[in-house]
Amino acid sequence: MNKEQISTFLKQVPLFHDLHPQELERVEEITISRFFPRKSTVFTEGSEKEAVYFIKDGLIKTYKTDENGNEQIVSFLKSGDMFPHTGFFNPNPYPATAEAIVDSKLLAIPVRLFENLMLSTPSIAVKMMRVMGDKIRELQEKLQVLSGQDVKHRVLSFLLQLADQLGEWNGSTVTINLPMTHQEFANSIGTTRETINRLLNQFSKEDLLEVDRSRIVIVDLEALKLQRDLK
């Protein structure tokens, strides 16, 4: 990715929206273009946080591993997203493992270089902390909604979230191109694979969804929303 492409991309990143051209140019100077092939690891949980990443093209999943070796998926991230969400503002290690689901082009900003930049240009730090505060509130609201729902509603909310983040419209249907196993789906919302099998089969019989190993097709988005909103 050349300098002009990096500049164009960074201007579209919400975290940098409030930066003046001169401030953004300082960020561009320390930004590195990286490529991660499918199934490769961007970083591992607990390792030293060396850089913060932004997705130019591709799809990334982040997950934590429990003491039994089971994955708990934290998030699926698409073009334009930043990770880890903890970003530049604490010294803690990476909170989860990040893996490329498909071939992915990322931009990396080394943490130490960015810290030096914020020290030399405090206005950048102030503007970015405001944006991060809004992001934290958004994540907290999503967590509160999910934690108050039963499993069926968590599945429906997760499907609608994927549709919003990754969906490709074709007429009235929405296709989510995401190679995700039922176990990964279950891990994402804190339930069992058997429960996911049962619910996805139920939604398929109701002509709401079509599911295979590489994608989910929402046949009737409005009906799916109505199911979620039913008490």
Question: What is the residue whose two structure tokens read 């900003």?
Answer: 109
Which residues, including other chains, have CB under 8 Å from residue 66's CB and lie 6 or more apart?
72
Asked whether the beta carbons of 74 and 64 are under 8 A apart, the reply is: yes
Distance (Å, rounded) from C-alpha 135 to C-alpha 140?
Answer: 9
Q: How far is CA 132 from CA 17, 101, 126, 139, 192, in A?
A: 12, 26, 10, 11, 33
* pLDDT score of 143: 62
Neighbouring-strand partners of residue 109: 52
CA angle 164, 165, 167 (to 5 degrees): 65
Whether pLDDT at 231 is above 60: no
pTM exceeds 0.85: no
Whether pLDDT at 145 is above 60: no
* pLDDT score of 142: 62
- Per residue in 53-94, pLDDT (tens digit) is 999 998 898 988 878 777 777 878 888 888 887 777 778 899
Residue of 165, 170, 163, 182 whose CA lies nearest to 224: 163
Residue 90 is encoded by which pair of tokens? 């604490």
- Per residue in 2-22, pLDDT (tens digit) is 778 888 898 888 888 888 889
Residue 84, Cβ density class (10 Å: 0-12 exposed, 13-18 middle, ≥19 buried) = buried
Residue with the larger pLDDT of the pair 212 and 45: 45
Whether pLDDT at 148 is above 70: no
* pLDDT score of 192: 85
Neighbours of 203 (CB within 10 A): 24
DSSP count for the chain of H helices, then E strands: 8, 12
